[in-house]
Amino acid sequence: MGRSQKPYAPEFVQEAVRLVVECGMSRSQVARDLGVSVDSVARWVLRAPQATLSAAPSVASTATPVPGNGELARLRRENDQLRMERDILKKALGIFSQMPK
């Protein structure tokens, strides 16, 4: 049985390539952030010609500016904290829902 590939929008692929090439992010970080495999990101980077990277407008160029390294680190810490709090609440809900009345 062959593996089927998910069809990704060209803009999505282009943004992933831009993050690797222009922003200097690692392929594994981009894959993790976008929820795709590292192999997919590596394949997209290898297939992307340099002319299309600079000629076509990217999604991020029309969006808000990329946060600085300090702000990015702060947002990642905050994200980790929120995930931990969410997991604690899930566990508490599970415990309280199993308690006898």
pLDDT at 62: 47
The yes-or-no verdict on residue 78 having pLDDT over 60 is: yes
pLDDT per residue over 21-43, tens digit each? 888 888 998 888 888 999 999 99
In the Cβ-directed half-sphere of 32, how many Cα atoms lie within 13 Å? Answer: 5
CA 46 – CA 36 distance, rounded (Å)? 16
| Mean pLDDT calculated for residue range 68-94 | 87
79 Cβ partners below 8 Å, 6+ apart?
none
Can you give the pTM of this predicted structure?
0.46
CA 45 – CA 31 distance, rounded (Å)? 12
